[in-house]
Amino acid sequence: MALSRFLSSAITRTTATFGERPAVTTSTLHVVFSPTAAGSLRQALSDAAREELRTGWEWGHAEEEWGHAEEEAFWKAALVEDVRRVAWVSRRSAPEYCGFLEWLWRLGDLPCEVVDLTDMPVGSHRRAFSLALLSPEEVAANAVWGRAEALDATVRSHGHSLWRRLRAENAPLRVVDADGLRSAPITFFDQQLLSFAKASWQKPARIIGYTMAEWSGPPMEPYFQAGDGILAARIIALVELGVLEGRGNLMNIRQSEVRLRNQTLRGGAGTASRCN
């Protein structure tokens, strides 16, 4: 599956000019691998500019990328050489981690900094988990952008090696757990989705919601594996396989409905284990 199926990308460029020191300007490029996270960071930086830093901000970003031309425009902007680069990532989110590793792969040996939110405490959060789960107010109040650290050469080398292997495997899915990021078959989520299906009709959105909630609910360690689009596509596949029965336009997960066609088939699709 193409990277664009995993990667939701956004870039925020910040130009800050400081006080009375003439012609001293630093330009920072924030690279964020989630449109939700990008909106949160953009608002947080804007609020900080007005109320804290009293600096001027110039914005440039790419929304969710699906087409080839737009994706290439994102990479061109994300890999410019004349800026300070700061990537925001969580290694508990498979889409974010994949996006970061592809960016790091393309970046080569160019310097960069990273805000690693994987297990970072922020405000009242014992673990931030992802920028997408922090409000703009929380990001600004805790000045999370100030926690960026230069990427260690050993970490960069490990990232390049990991991504080289995953690219070579070219699996349709990549998932993350306590053992790290790994390749997975297209059927990986099928059994988990079916565990929430019933003999009675229910909306695919409900099944998808339960599945995604289980990734982060106790007693599981929290991980985010995929967006609802991938899960919706697997529900459609299960209908086509005859494991589920559907009615309505299944492309609309909130208006259509599905149910188990035959409860004896409930354990028969996929061999995926729980995402823990």
Boundaries of every domain in the chain: 3-169, 185-265
Does residue 259 contact residue 200 with C-beta atoms inside 8 Å?
yes
Q: Give the residue, 215 or 184, on which the prediction is more confident.
A: 184
Q: Which position has the higher pLDDT, 188 or 17?
A: 188
Q: State yes or no: pLDDT of 153 exceeds 90.
A: yes
Q: Higher-confidence residue: 59 or 141?
A: 141
DSSP β-ladder status, 180-184 and 173-177: antiparallel
Question: pLDDT at position 28, please?
Answer: 84
Rg (CA), the chain: 21
- Which strand (E) or helix (H) includes residue 28? strand 25-32
Cβ-contact 146, 28 below 8 angstroms:
no
CATH assignment of 185-265, given 1.10.1740, 3.30.70, 1.10.10, 1.25.10?
A: 1.10.10
pLDDT for residue 200 is more than 50: yes
Say how many C-beta atoms besides its own lie within 10 A of residue 201's C-beta.
13
- Is the pLDDT score of 65 beyond 70? no
Q: How far apart are CA 123 and CA 134, in angstroms?
A: 10
* Joined tokens for residue 215: 């990734």
| Displacement of CA 86 from its chain's centroid (Å) | 16
Percent of the chain topping pLDDT 90:
47
What pLDDT sits at residue 114? 95
Spatial CA neighbour of 181 closest among 195, 191, 167: 167
Asked if the model's pLDDT at residue 1 lies above 90, the reply is no
Residue 87 near residue 114 (C-beta atoms within 8 A): yes
